[in-house]
Structure 1
């Protein structure tokens, strides 16, 4: 397996979850149906702040210089996103972040797979809907901000794939990494479904 095969496998195995996480119900779940500018930005900022903290901790816990550098860079980028999103708020809401499956992983490969790849795939879908939200609000400036964050989240995913290519020296290591990435996406989707169920909203798309 290589990086592209890894990404293709995760996307294929979690196709339904990723499609639904990118539906128009994504922001309803993320914000508790409180669809206003500050809440949307606040949820995204809280998500990236959580990522920054997790990546910084992982950077400090590894003995591998390559892993430490990759997670330190990811932490810096996520922290910058949180700052930029917070700075654009009219009022700072008390919001928790979106579940992206980050947390509880052990081992450099599993953390890279879940945190840098799996979580980035989830975040990409949520950010797509955030772009659409601001476009519909005729707020092109904030839509451009979210587009920039989304592009840099994709860069984080690609950095994760490059790191996995360095770390995974056997099929078993690739397999463990793929399982970790898929588990992160599945955890995000399970939380999405549970949240919509609690709101009385069917998480399945209307055909």
Structure 2
């Protein structure tokens, strides 16, 4: 399966989850309905800080130079994002980021698929809503910042696809990768639903 074919499969199999994760309820779920500038920036910064720490541990745990490079670069990008998002904050809230399904994966294949591809697809949806939030707040500077972060997350996704293209040598490995990416998205959506449920909000779109 080539990179585009892999991406198309994951997007199609998790189409409903990704659509709902990108709805106007995304920031409500992520922030606990506290829609103010500091909370939105803090949640996004905490998310990227978590990714930076997690993916850096993966880089240190693998013996594959290709994975070391990809995970290390992703960790640097996420760390830079976290710093930029938190630049105007007194502190980054602990453990209050967007759920992206990252955590508990073993093996370079599963980690690349879940942490670089699946998580990036999830985070892209929340970042899209964050751009809209700051546009509505007439905060062009921060809207541009979120656009840049979103672009970096897309680059992280593409790096994950390229890594999988390099390290998935069998049909079984390709299948494991696709399953891991889909499971990460499904886990993120499950948490999204639970957070909205606690707020008394139906995650399904209003028709």
Interval of TM-score (by shorter of Structure 1 and Structure 2): over 0.9
Aligned residues: 206
- Whether the aligned pair in 1 keeps the contact of 2:46 and 2:93 (CA below 8 Å) is no
Q: 5+ residue gaps in structure 1?
A: none
Q: Could you give the per-residue CA deviations for residues 133-168 of structure 1, whole angstroms, max 9, x where no partner exists?
A: 000001011000000000010000000000000001
- In the alignment, the residues of structure 2 paired with residue 171 and residue 124 of structure 1 have an alpha-carbon distance, to the nearest angstrom, of 28
Counterpart position of 2:187: 187
Q: Could you give the per-residue CA deviations for residues 110-130 of structure 1, whole angstroms, max 9, x where no partner exists?
A: 000000000000000000000
User: Matches of residues 10-29 of structure 1 in structure 2 within 5 Å?
Assistant: 10-29=10-29
Instruction: Give the deviation of 1:171 after TM superposition.
Output: 1.1
Counterpart position of 2:8: 8
Counterpart position of 2:57: 57
Instruction: Give the deviation of 1:94 after TM superposition.
Output: 2.9
Q: Secondary structure at the match of 1:87?
A: coil
Counterpart position of 1:121: 121
- Does the alignment pair 1:92 with 2:108? no
- In the alignment, the residues of structure 2 paired with residue 195 and residue 148 of structure 1 have an alpha-carbon distance, to the nearest angstrom, of 27
Counterpart position of 2:131: 131
> How has the CA–CA distance of structure 1 residues 36 and 93 changed in structure 2, closer, same or farther, with 3 Å as cutoff?
farther
User: Matches of residues 29-48 of structure 1 in structure 2 within 5 Å?
Assistant: 29-48=29-48
CA RMSD of aligned residues (A): 0.8
Q: 5+ residue gaps in structure 2?
A: none
- Whether the aligned pair in 2 keeps the contact of 1:38 and 1:93 (CA below 8 Å) is no
Q: Could you give the per-residue CA deviations for residues 163-184 of structure 1, whole angstroms, max 9, x where no partner exists?
A: 0000011111100000000000
Instruction: Give the deviation of 1:107 after TM superposition.
Output: 0.7
